[in-house]
Structure 1
């Protein structure tokens, strides 16, 4: 005699996961069923056969990669004694794309091609050699070359279009953020700018001068002045040496003249003494 017939049961839940091939995972259990053929799973009304069932334990699992919107998963199990059906729905919000806050830039090869002057110091292209560098705050000026279609700055509360291939110099009351992590930067260097006045821009012979370039020129000019001053000091020192040498030569010449004069005086004195001796002898 056969025992009492038990209808099947099913229970499951959907969990959000962060995997390359899935956004959600189903985990559940089934009783009264020993064959996968007695289980039906649908996603949004369409059969989904990519689920796993372990008859020995009754474990049920599946993975789904769901797009934004509403989705419904239905699991149905059956045996000779009946059927059980469970469903669960999830809704994925449309992800808002993070809007780029500024302009991607080309750091360039020379220090002057990027220049940021802030109350706390001046930064140039050399600082951008480290991806860990970032600055966010007030600035007196910023100089850069945009790439990749330019971008947008905020000038007097309104969007200001930045064109690629042009050097830009913002000065005055500005606030900037320089980083490789700005929204829309995609790991490249970018600048987000809020300014009270429009920038100066141009390329070639018409490009604005970089504040860092001016500083370098001042350093070069100072070096030239130092070299010139050093040269003048060297000339003065040489002149002093020449004067001292001439004085020594004059003193030596004077000494020689004095020696010759002294010798002449001695010779004269000797002659006079000899003459007196001769005259005295003659009188005797």
Structure 2
């Protein structure tokens, strides 16, 4: 059976708001069981997520080719919903790959899948690393309206992401509602400068400074702290160990920390001892360098 695999993503890396994200080794897997008289989607997400042609994966597939034959699908996922790990982006991309796989008349390149997914999602920071893997800087293309540019960053060999996933959801819309309509000019200039320096440090593989720059956001984190107090606790614990590199993943509630591999064990131990993080999923991950893929048996 054919399988479609899409990695989880962590966007809004530091001051790279809506433009900078990475892929990690948590996955959405869609197995094409076979043709069916109607769309049938077996998934683990509960009754609030449709199991028919209204499922986001199916809707996304039908944007590729409305005439594809209904299928029975089996969904497995390590990516929790509404936690800031790109669950909607992974579903959109899985659907586009599904439509591409099933269509007899349409063949989409990875670039086209990225562009379509970014247009559906509205911003490219999750879909870019989900499609291409690794760490990606992406944003609107001023030369071609309604399209997006993307640039791959070399992955560090000696760093890894540690994830803290609180046991509660946070809708992106709710998290966006706390953001101000306008920001102070001085604050905006400083945030823009920090974002530029962060991107420069990434492309120069200067992770000794990158981890500090990841904690300089002023675009969204100060306003979302009241919704995700775990970020403050994670940073406190990391700073007590002399470590930096924590940021709010996407719109939350997940907190991501990028640390050296030889420092990960100590940080994990301390995070798991915190009463304020009780109930959260806490684990070391790895970067996913492959991005979305189709596996045919």
Q: Same fold (TM over 0.5)?
A: no
Measured against the shorter chain, the TM-score band is under 0.3
Structure with greater proportional strand content: 1
Q: TM-score, normalised by structure 2?
A: 0.22
Larger Rg: 1
Q: TM-score, normalised by structure 1?
A: 0.22
Structure with greater proportional helix content: 2
Instruction: Kindly indicate whether structure 1 or structure 2 has the higher relative contact order, using CA contacts under 8 Å at least 6 residues apart.
Output: 2
